[in-house]
Amino acid sequence: MNRRELLKALGAGGALALLNAPAMAAAKNKTAHIVIVGGGIGGATAAKYLRLAAPGVKITLVEPVKRFITCLRSNDVAVGHMTLDDITFTYDALRARYKINVVHDRVIGFDPDKKTVQLDAGGKLAYDKLVVSPGIDFIYGDVEGYTREAAETTLPHAWKAGPQTLLLKKQLEAMPQGGTFLMVAPPNPFRCPPGPYERASLIAEWFQKHNPRAKVIILDHKDAFTKDVPFKKAWERLYGFNTPNSMIEWIPAAKGGTPKRVDAANRTVIAAAGTFKADVVNYISPQRAGTVAFRMGLTNREGWCPVNRRTFESEIVRDVHVIGDACVGDSMPKSGYSANSQAKVAVQAIADMLAGKTPGEPSMINVCYSLAGQDYGVSIADIFKVVDNRIVKLPASGVSPITDSPAQPLLEAVYQRNWHRTFANDCFA
Amino acid sequence: MKQRLLVLSLLLIAGSAGASSTEKPEAMPEWESDKLELALAHANTGNPVEGKRLHHYLYCSACHGDNGESPSRNWPSLTGQKPDYVMKTLLDYKQSMRRDHYRKAFVMTRMAGLLNESQMADLAAYYAQQPAPAIPPSTNVKLAKQGAKLANRGDDKRGITACSACHGEHGESGVTPDTPALAGQTPEYFIQAMTMYKQGMRTSDVGGVMRMYSKSLTEAEIKALAHYYASLGSKAGAPKP
């Protein structure tokens, strides 16, 4: 019995007295079909945890690729400490262990009134609840001279793991001795806030071994970044930061770091701070919600998806929940961990709604380890709650302290590896 | 000055490339007893005051407890352990001879890499000074009774020597550096260690002695022995901070 049939039965009158609330909930649960669009960290976690929260429902995950490459640890791939295979995951466990119907296809149409999504290969999926985890896409042309073509050929962003990561790796390896690596760090908000600074660190470390006179220059749209205190301390300890021989130079917006123009053919970026010609330019593009969210009409004027912060239900379309990097998360960073945390909250809310219960008060976390060197970790741990439909960070949150104990950053680097293994399993296994 | 040296050694380590994440089963190096004897020549000369400082400064306390008595079934208690066994273990790790939890021991291998031999001896001296661990809460008295007989008499028919012959009548450890104190260790940790010996995953026992004995034991016997040695913990354990 689907919802409409149930309503018909109710309308017919006689059955009304026999149908108490739990029975209705059970009837709904049995037939509920939840479709999840996007099988990244958020979508995969949502599929698995929805099965745990609502064992009886039918779950379909729509994701174009058969083997998903996570952005997590892709900086390690760029400098050869890991391979793409190490960060590639399949949907086998979701199928076998959690009975998720995984469809490798693309959503090309959406009817919010009839509650269907149209697949590229043909056919429609009718849903009771839809979860959309679209990730990010890039804004090209924010400055003159920066185009999609430039990004795909000469100025890789390497901000989605895969061919772009390998392109960056190849360019690094081909750099002349004593050359310059220039990174443009994106404006807020963007996926993986510590990612650019971890990448700059790991490339400086790689240069120490393979290209000791080479330099890393970061042109930044911003004046501060996440974990900047422990990162800068690590740069001092490892790469001579704040000395004349520093391997890393960071030029914040206040010192003219914001890019104004790009000359892709000459690998040159023009900013108020000067004209920077480099051997490798890693232009990390400004970002917006993934394209599928735009096609489905889930985005606001800023290009992100506004949601009810307790349930992650879209504020634009009913019965559609948007999670992960694409949603408006307030003080919650656009990280894989946030997506994982939001997925759990969203599917519990869905399970509650299907059971006729009011969703509870969410508590969310974000934990993130970055490497400032292969043996030097920095971390952040945040706890969030919702106040007046805004996600706020609780005072218990914090970043790695600066200590003089060599064990502290070393342990964080070890924890990072263990965290990555455990976290990937939480999403995909 | 010492701290400065530690930071420097960290910088040197940080300069070398990290290992790949793809873990391949590899043959572990093994001790030869004469080399072990030489390596442990200064094991009993540590400074416990410096050891106590290192225990906190290097975050050993994060897993092994404020005083070295572990609050967790995952990690062993170090209190009451004899110095040469602690030093041997740290050398095992430093030389990548150990696995933990059935996989490569990332944490301790890296941590031991930070230590020179004098610091290992200091830590060892500190742990040796602490009273043996208290009886762990998960200890099962009935199982402990079952384990007592095997531990103290062995089994002639299967060629199993009494455990107490090497590990002491009360699990307080024996004469050679590779026979640790077992009294008060959590049953969970004991079972893990024995299972890894049985599976040949732990190769730090000199001459393969523990691999040999563990092979003859059933899972139930290992479990009973684990609870027996746990039950030999001290009444009070380490002083609470």
Over residues A32-69, the pLDDT tens digits come to 999 999 999 999 999 999 999 999 999 999 999 999 99
pLDDT for residue B17 is more than 50: no
Q: Kindly state whether B114 is in contact with chain A, defined as any CB-CB distance less than 8 angstroms.
A: yes
- Contact between B9 and A407 using a beta-carbon 8 Å cutoff: no
Q: Kindly state whether B218 is in contact with chain A, defined as any CB-CB distance less than 8 angstroms.
A: no
Which of B129, B162, B193 finishes a domain? B129
Percentage of chain B modeled with pLDDT above 90: 74
Residue A124, domain CATH: 3.50.50.60
pLDDT for residue B6 is more than 50: no
Q: Are residues B121 and B13 in the same domain?
A: yes
C-alpha to C-alpha distance for B234 and B241, rounded to whole angstroms: 17
Q: Are residues A31 and A80 in the same domain?
A: yes
Q: Which residues of A touch B62 (CB under 8 A)?
A: 411
Task: State which residues of chain A have pLDDT below 50.
Answer: 1-29
Residue A337: which of A136, A159, A70, A98 has the closest Cα?
A: A70
Supply A165's token pair. 């990561």
Q: Kindly state whether B209 is in contact with chain A, defined as any CB-CB distance less than 8 angstroms.
A: no
Supply B160's token pair. 């199993």
Q: Are residues B115 and B14 in the same domain?
A: yes
Cβ-based neighbours of B117, under 8 Å, separated by 6 or more: B39, B42, B87, B91
- Number of domains, chain B: 2
pLDDT for residue B186 is more than 50: yes
Which of A283, A318, A348 finishes a domain? A283
Q: Are residues B104 and B173 in the same domain?
A: no
C-alpha to C-alpha distance for A328 and A420, rounded to whole angstroms: 25
Q: Are residues B49 and B107 in the same domain?
A: yes
pLDDT of res. A392: 97
- Contact between B3 and A86 using a beta-carbon 8 Å cutoff: no
Q: Are residues B158 and B107 in the same domain?
A: no
Residue B166, domain CATH: 1.10.760.10
Q: Are residues B112 and B168 in the same domain?
A: no
pLDDT of res. B237: 66
The residue segments making up the domain with residue B164 are 141-230
Q: Are residues A120 and A148 in the same domain?
A: no
B114: nearest CB among A208, A410, A418:
A410
Query: CA-CA-CA-CA torsion for A309, A311, A314, A319, nearest 10 degrees?
Result: -170
- Contact between A209 and B21 using a beta-carbon 8 Å cutoff: no
Q: Are residues B119 and B164 in the same domain?
A: no
- Contact between A407 and B59 using a beta-carbon 8 Å cutoff: yes
Would you say B151 and B228 are in contact if contact means Cβ atoms under 8 Å apart? yes
Mean pLDDT, residues B132-151: 95
- Give chain A's length: 429
pLDDT for residue B211 is more than 70: yes
Mean pLDDT, residues B19-28: 51
Grade residue B12 by pLDDT with cuts at 50, 70 and 90: very low
Q: Which residues of A touch B15 (CB under 8 A)?
A: 205, 208-209
Which of A257, A283, A309 finishes a domain? A283
Would you say A131 and A43 are in contact if contact means Cβ atoms under 8 Å apart? yes
Q: Which residues of B touch A209 (CB under 8 A)?
A: 15, 17
Supply B232's token pair. 């030999």
Q: Are residues B102 and B176 in the same domain?
A: no
C-alpha to C-alpha distance for A424 and A88, rounded to whole angstroms: 10
- Number of domains, chain A: 2
**Chain B residue nearest residue A81, CA to CA:** B20
pLDDT of res. B240: 52
pLDDT of res. B175: 85
Q: Are residues A40 and A8 in the same domain?
A: yes
pLDDT of res. A11: 39
Is residue B205 situated within a structural domain? yes
A410: nearest CB among B3, B21, B110:
B110
Q: Are residues A109 and A149 in the same domain?
A: no
Q: Are residues B84 and B164 in the same domain?
A: no
B10 CA to chain A: closest CA distance, Å? 6
Which of B129, B150, B177 finishes a domain? B129
Q: How many CB atoms lie within 10 A of CB A321?
A: 29
Q: Are residues A272 and A293 in the same domain?
A: no
**Chain B residue nearest residue A208, CA to CA:** B15
pLDDT for residue B7 is more than 90: no
Would you say A97 and A79 are in contact if contact means Cβ atoms under 8 Å apart? no
For residue A164, what are the β-bridge partners? none
The residue segments making up the domain with residue A257 are 144-283
Q: Kindly state whether B17 is in contact with chain A, defined as any CB-CB distance less than 8 angstroms.
A: yes
Give pLDDT tens digits for A187-222.
Answer: 999 999 999 999 999 999 999 999 999 999 999 999
Which of B80, B96, B129 finishes a domain? B129
B33 CA to chain A: closest CA distance, Å? 31
Percentage of chain B modeled with pLDDT above 70: 86
**Chain A residue nearest residue B110, CA to CA:** A410
- Contact between B14 and A375 using a beta-carbon 8 Å cutoff: yes
Residue A46: which of A231, A375, A259, A322 has the closest Cα?
A: A322
